Amino acid sequence: MKSTRMTALLAVIVTSLLAVFASSVSSAATTKTTTISVVSLIPGSTPEAIAQFNNQVAAFEKANPSIKVKPIEYQWTGPTFAAKLAAGTLPTVFEVPFTDARSLGDNGQLADLTAEIKQLPYYSKYNKAVLAEGTTAKGKIIALPKGAYAMALHYNRKLFTAAGLDPNKPPTTWAQVQSYARLITQKTGKAGYAQMGKDDNSAGWVFTTLVYSLGGRMETGRGTTAKATLNNAKAVTALSMLKKMRWTDNTMGSNFDMGWSDINQAFAAGNVGMYINGSDVYTNLVSASNIDPSIYGLAPIPLAKNKTAGVLGGGTLVAVRPDANAAARAAAVKWIDFYYERPLVDKAQAIRNAKTLVAGKQPVGVPALPLFNKAQYDLANTWIKPYINVPLAQMKPFNTGIFNQQVIAEPAASTQSVYKTLDGPVQAVLTDKNANVQQLLDQANSTAQAQISAGK
């Protein structure tokens, strides 16, 4: 493995040297070279994935001889972001979750890319709701989408079979989720249904998904005047349901402090029957947890039969650091266009991208939400069809079901604080048999309201 990495590294060095050489020969007199640093992959990625990324960089530099790209391993986390921003050590181009982008933009912590982005040929075709995630209250565009997902129900087909359930018929109501979970726990001893319970906001995030699916909302309005509704009737129902699954049915396993990565790992290891996470999580299950593809099943979240019931959507945006100058901004948008956006709208680029992913043993065809419109999304999927290497048949319930579901954005005001506040009640219900659901949510609501009003 080491030698592949070395070769890849050598290849990159040689190509980039050539690129520099070529650019200095061809355009030395006319243009100056702009260097930008870009976020590459999360730390701990496989050597194949890193080589794959470096190939993309080489291709980009070849196409844009006046731009030099320096890849930096970086994972967005709240605390390090604030520090890196203040310290000026952010890469020029980095990724931000939907959850934070608008708040950061409103605070002037992301560069204004409106002018550059409006020149992109496909600008007008963006899904308005998705683009809005990267637009500030004053209408400045501060980020472009990398990808969007809807929350989904991931299930273990092997455990379904062992419990005598049909792995091609995932549950479509919450009552079914509960009874299936009971069957799985009875027959296999594993957690029938598990849910993130870590107080790093993930517990609140998944709980919000649950409440949305029943038709509830966590707040109304935007900004500091928004009203918190964490103790709505649907939230009470959802939390009571969790309490029942935990204490009466006892189908949620014995560890309740799992975060995003922990629960993925537990699922990939075959210890979880069903759990909720973003629809694009399969990539992580492959790259970090070596999941056996045959056990994987993906279904839409069961929605209650009412008008407000919907599925929580989210995603990742690509943004630029606020102190980038005009040349760096232009170069950054070119990179975003090349690496993130083109594969979705340009056939040749899409195929090239899929090829490098396959060569790097990375999943191609992971279910996502359209960034433009469904027609464009389907079209792009037909381009890359020969390269799709995920178990598409096992994802069919989701891929057919999701487009009948209403996708609802995350709570707009003080998003992270609302999630954080909700972590408490979820943890309380999972770890205290006598937890008082209504009281917990009432308390959380007043805390969240204070945070919203303070703009935190």
The answer to whether 6 contacts other proteins (rule: CB under 8 A) is no
Considering the rule CB under 8 A, would residue 1 count as an interface residue with other proteins?
yes
For other proteins, which stretch binds (CB under 8 A), given 193-201, 342-350, 366-374, 402-410? 193-201
Per-residue binding letters, 309-338, with other proteins (x by CB under 8 A): ------------------------------
Q: In the 3-class helix/strand/coil scheme, how is the chain assigned residue by residue?
A: CHHHHHHHHHHHHHHHHHHHHHHHHHHCCCCCCEEEEEECCCCCCCHHHHHHHHHHHHHHHHHCCCEEEEEECCCCCHHHHHHHHHHCCCCCEEEEEHHHHHHHHHCCCCCCCHHHHHCCCCHHHCCHHHHHCCECCCCCECEEEEEEEEEEEEEEHHHHHHCCCCCCCCCCCHHHHHHHHHHHHHHHCCEEEECCCCCCCHHHHHHHHHHHHHCCCCEECCHHHCEECCCCHHHHHHHHHHHHHHHHCCCCCCCCCCCHHHHHHHHHCCCEEEEEEECCCHHHHHHCCCCCHHHEEEEECCCCCCCCCCEEEEEEEEEECCCCCHHHHHHHHHHHHHHHHHHHHCHHHHHHHHHHHHHCCCCCCCCCECCCCHHHHHHHHHHCHHHCCCCHHHHHHHHHHHHHCCEECCCCCCHHHHHHHHHHHHHHHHHCCCCCHHHHHHHHHHHHHHHHHHCC
Choosing from 35, 78, 373, 400, the residue that interacts with other proteins (CB under 8 A) is: 78
Candidate residues 200, 250, 377, 453; the one interacting with other proteins per rule CB under 8 A: 200
Positions 373 through 402 that interact with other proteins (CB under 8 A): none
Number of residues counted as binding other proteins (CB under 8 A): 57
Q: How far is the CB of 175 from other proteins (least distance, A)?
A: 26
Question: Is 256 a residue that touches other proteins (CB under 8 A)?
Answer: yes
Compute the distance between CA of residue 258 and CA of residue 265 in angstroms, rounded to an integer. 10
- Alpha-carbon gap, residue 332 to 278, rounded angstroms: 28
35 binds other proteins (CB under 8 A): no
Q: Which residue among 9, 62, 84, 112 contacts other proteins (CB under 8 A)?
A: 84
Min dist. Cβ of residue 265 to other proteins (A):
6
Among residue numbers 214 through 253, which ones bind other proteins (CB under 8 A)? 253
Segment interacting with other proteins (CB under 8 A) among 27-35, 150-158, 262-270, 331-339: 262-270
CA 427 and chain centroid, separation: 23
- The answer to the question of residue 442 lying near other proteins (CB under 8 A) is no
Chosen residue from 112, 249, 262, 442 binding other proteins by CB under 8 A: 262
Which position among 82, 132, 233, 326 is part of the footprint of other proteins (CB under 8 A)? 82
Site membership for other proteins, residue 81 (CB under 8 A):
yes
Q: Report the residue from 213, 251, 447, 449 that binds other proteins according to the rule CB under 8 A.
A: 447
Stretch that binds other proteins, among 79-87, 136-144, 177-185, 210-218 (CB under 8 A): 79-87
Cβ closer to other proteins: 198 or 321? 198
Nearer to other proteins, 74 or 398 (CB): 74
The first and second tokens of residue 325, run together, are: 């100058």
Structure tokens at 193: 């249904």
Which residue, 237 or 414, is less far from other proteins as judged by CB?
414
From 22, 269, 326, 359, residue interacting with other proteins (rule: CB under 8 A): 269
CB-CB contact of 335 with 69 (8 Å): yes
Q: Which of residues 46-75 bind other proteins (CB under 8 A)?
A: 46, 73, 75
Which range touches other proteins (CB under 8 A), out of 212-220, 259-267, 337-345, 403-411?
A: 259-267
The contact set with other proteins (CB under 8 A) reads 1-2, 43-44, 46, 73, 75, 77-89, 100, 103-104, 107, 109, 197-200, 253-257, 259-262, 264-265, 269, 288-290, 416-417, 423-425, 427-428, 430-432, 443, 447, 456
